[in-house]
Chain A
């Protein structure tokens, strides 16, 4: 029966299935994440999260979605209508495109590009244009300032992020995400070969997490959002569904960066019991989503804990600490690759990284203020 299906239909279905998977699973995870984030932040702050709509608040994302769809869509009279309309759309698209190269199980990646990692990073930079468009189209000085700061932040943090990815690419020898995950298999329980357990991998992991937080403008780098709490920021003049699209784009980008982090550093779908075949594939999917959930929980934990960085602290951190550290990390991968006895490679790489970490943090430490003396005259 299936032999008579025409060839073009097979091909179209073959690429519609992963797209349906991406469109179905990741926005659902986004909706769940908004709820989990609010409840987890509430517990951290000694209160319950939302628990009115449905048991444990499980229908809260539905209520939120309904509320924001029914809000009036206000466009300022002097706003640039075309750009104002296009910006929220352009923010969601790069967030979704990154999921195309994130492998979920052995062989299960939407598009197996030879340049997977580079594609993920390149597509992430397109959201910068959308941020600027949003701020410009609102014809509002505060929006423009917020957009300029957001753009500066995203562009600055892209550099250490990409460099941290380069370290992994050097070690794996390939740009394809599927191959990178495969390289992290083997070892004890499929776990010990993860790149996070290598010295340069640990530093790269931390750099990538920080870069991912900054690129999706999450705490502690949510200065664009904070301005929206105080003044405006790039999504002042947006209401209703467009605002929901901004939130969705930000969360999807954050989860996409989490997915890429899992792929590059945490071994993707590798875990005890993952392998080809149906059972191995299902276990792999479980491991991937468990790790993704772990990264999301880490993001939420960080959001509930650390204060926001000021814009000059933010830029200084990116250019003065993270970028040199990323370059040093690349040299460390070189050491790792070329020093043949493994223990020697471990010692040299770890020592190199620790020394540079201490030097950089020492050089960039803020001035130690003396204890204040109060004189009561």
Chain B
């Protein structure tokens, strides 16, 4: 728990708060990107450099771009029309759900035994070779399941595009 942890966490929390409170949707996505980079920084802090780099590659490079494309198709990006209600019913119900979730997560993390079985922070060395070996040796079934899921999504996207093409002809 050194100072880097607190600085990164502060930036992440700032990013998350901005992502849900800003009016302009594109600014919200930029704050979300800040949040993703904060997560990547945490990974680097935990010596999981492969995971951190993949976090940037996937989340910032692909997911954020996807969200931006989706936002482009919405109408009310600047969020200027319509009054905003602070502390109304929506806010209280959201706060209640967030509190319940926070409680459950805290309990789950505190009662977790995984940390005891792994070496301490300074001695933890994750290597890409071990991740690779684990993926194809121990966890090959989930890997293939995810691959099938992605292929199905890809085929679905192509089918939808083909339908549009056929309709436009």
Contacts and interface: CB of A to CB of B under 8 A. Distances in A.
Given A114-B127, A115-B53, A118-B53, A128 B65 contact: yes
A126 B56 contact: yes
Contact of A122 (B26, B30, B54, B69): B54
Interface in B50-83: 50, 53-54, 56-57, 60-62, 64-65, 68-69, 72
Contacts of B62: 125, 155
Interface residues of B, number: 21
Nearest to A132: B68
A168 interface: no
A223 interface: no
Contacts, number: 62
Given A125-B57, A126-B61, A133 B72 contact: no
B33 A129 contact: yes
Contacts of A104: none
A317 B61 CA distance: 21
A352 B64 CA distance: 38
Given A129-B65, A132-B65, A121 B57 contact: yes
Contact of A114 (B26, B54, B72, B128): B128
Interface string A209-231: 00000000000000000000000
A118 B27 contact: no
Nearest to B68: A132
A122 to B, nearest CB: 4
Interface string A73-103: 0000000101100100000000000000000
In the complex, which of the residues B30, B62, B65 has the most CB atoms of chain A within 10 Å of its own CB atom? B65
A148 B65 CA distance: 10
Contacts of B49: 113-115
Given A82-B27, A122-B61, A151-B65, A175 B128 contact: yes
B24 A80 contact: yes
Interface residues of A, number: 26
A59 interface: no
A80 B24 CA distance: 10
A293 interface: no
Contact of A133 (B30, B54, B57, B61): B30
A137 B60 CA distance: 19
A269 interface: no
Nearest to B61: A125
A78 to B, nearest CB: 10
Given A113-B49, A132-B65, A155-B65, A144 B72 contact: yes
Contacts of A133: 26, 30
A205 interface: no
Contacts of B33: 129
B60 A125 contact: yes
Contacts of B64: 129
A26 B49 CA distance: 26
A357 interface: no
Nearest to A136: B26
Nearest to A82: B27
B39 to A, nearest CB: 14
A155 B128 CA distance: 24
A57 B33 CA distance: 43
Interface in B67-115: 68-69, 72
Interface of B: 24, 26-27, 30, 33, 49-50, 53-54, 56-57, 60-62, 64-65, 68-69, 72, 127-128
Given A118-B54, A125-B61, A136-B68, 11 more contacts: A80-B24, A83-B26, A122-B53, A125-B60, A125-B62, A126-B60, A129-B60, A129-B61, A129-B65, A133-B30, A175-B128
21 contacts: A80-B27, A82-B27, A83-B30, A86-B30, A113-B49, A114-B49, A114-B128, A118-B54, A118-B57, A122-B54, A123-B56, A125-B60, A125-B61, A126-B56, A129-B33, A129-B60, A132-B68, A133-B30, A136-B68, A137-B26, A144-B72
Pairs of residues from A and B, 3 with the lowest C-beta to C-beta distance, nearest first: A125-B61, A122-B57, A122-B53
